[in-house]
Structure 1
Amino acid sequence: MRWGCIDKSSIPLTSAPSHLQPARTGSASPRLTTQLHSLAELFAQLGLPSDESDVKAFVAKRSPLPLDIELWEASFWTPAQASLLRVE
């Protein structure tokens, strides 16, 4: 994921597009189910302030990343945060 490609004014913090939502139980056609998390949940897991305004400020201060840098490689992460981002 590269933040440089994201329109910061429309960062979704709570929900995913309907085609990425988990399938409802009892559905006639099976769909891939995935567990989705919000950016607020990710920021909390990283030990960062996770209110919507905090997330937007973080992104605004640190973007765009150069296109050749993966998100987890950015210099502003602690080693533990970078490790979590790389694994997940």
Structure 2
Amino acid sequence: MDTSKHTLNTLFAQLGLPSSDNQIEQFVSNHKLSASVQLADAPFWTESQKHFIQESLAEDADWCELIDILDAQLRH
């Protein structure tokens, strides 16, 4: 069981994305979602990223809070 504290940086690393603060800000500014698109269905995810997000949310995993934060940031 992973007991480390998760951050947006570690979420991005888990997704295989560049994970520095600046890279995360860049990702968020370049990828916006409308209210009608679910986060996991966003066109910019790979299949493995989509699966990770879906599975984490379905299992109410430790990542859920950070996935929700990312979701909110992509909508503002």
Shorter-chain TM-score bucket reads 0.5 to 0.7
4+ runs deviating over 6 angstroms? none
Match of 2:38 in 1: 70
For structure 2, the residue ranges without an aligned partner over 5 or more in a row are 57-76
Aligned residues: 53
Deviation at 1:66, TM superposition (A): 1.0
Deviation at 1:37, TM superposition (A): 1.8
* Structure with the bigger percentage of helix: 2
In terms of Rg, which structure is larger?
Answer: 1
Match of 1:38 in 2: 7
CA–CA distance in 2 between the matches of 1:87 and 1:42? 14
For structure 1, the residue ranges without an aligned partner over 5 or more in a row are 1-34
Deviation at 1:36, TM superposition (A): 5.5
Q: TM-score, normalised by structure 1?
A: 0.57
Deviation at 1:73, TM superposition (A): 0.6
Counterpart of 1:71 in structure 2: which amino acid? L
Residue 43 of structure 1: SS of its match in structure 2? helix
Q: TM-score, normalised by structure 2?
A: 0.65
1:58 is aligned to 2:12: no
